[in-house]
Structure 1
Amino acid sequence: MLKARIYQPARNAMQSGLAKTHRWHLKFEPSASRTIEPLMGHTSSSDTRQQLDLNFDSKQDAIAYAERHHIDYQVMEPKQKKRRIVAYADNFATKRVDGNWTH
């Protein structure tokens, strides 16, 4: 049976917002090893499914697709980022938490 990962992509380094991170992806794991083509030196593989990246609106849709097509899958839950909300004025507060005052 095929093996696939179901995951929610993380933001890339050039992205400050959360656009395109709410969709779920189903990506197949490679089942055949890559080989080096002797003529041009490019790496290639006979497995064409590793080129697929299917997008779904929800995790349940991706799981339902995998089960409907008898695909072994592994769900990778996204890590929740801890957000610390601070104001610019906190840099100049006289009662700073860490006690370091450099001004």
Structure 2
Amino acid sequence: MTAKIYRPAKTAMQSGKAKTHLWVLEHEMEKPKVIDPLFGYTGSADMKQQVKLTFETQELAEAYAKRHGIAYRVIQPKEATRKAVSYTDNFRYTRTQPWTH
């Protein structure tokens, strides 16, 4: 049984950074998912797949995994690069490309 520890990125529906400062410990799949032949639902007998634990820091998540004997791997977050964009640059006289709608 292995787990991954990561800090989630913001979703496409978020403009802010809510819930991106917490670290998540999530168990990886032990058994493959099975498709029900009658209804076509996808299911699994792996109950640990449904559990996501959140921690304030990476060290707390690692300590929990060590204390409970869970093998884990840490996925380091990639920091977003912010590009300074000015709205007025769209209408600049010295613009190299013509502005289009």
Q: TM-score, normalised by structure 2?
A: 0.84
Q: Is the 2:10–2:20 Cα contact (8 Å) retained in structure 1?
A: yes
Q: Is the 2:25–2:52 Cα contact (8 Å) retained in structure 1?
A: yes
Residue in 2 aligned with 1:100?
97
Structure 1 window deviating more from structure 2 (8-17 vs 81-90): it is: 81-90
How many residues are aligned here?
A: 100
The reply to whether residue 73 of structure 1 matches residue 72 of structure 2 is yes
Query: What whole-Å deviation, never above 9, does each CA across 1:40-60 have from its counterpart, x for those lacking one?
Result: 443222221011000111111
% of aligned pairs identical? 46
The reply to whether residue 5 of structure 1 matches residue 4 of structure 2 is yes
The alignment's C-alpha RMSD in Å is 2.0
Residue in 2 aligned with 1:52?
51
Distance 2:81 2:92 in 1: 23
Unmatched 5+ stretches in structure 2: none
The reply to whether residue 20 of structure 1 matches residue 32 of structure 2 is no
Distance 1:37 1:74 in 2: 32
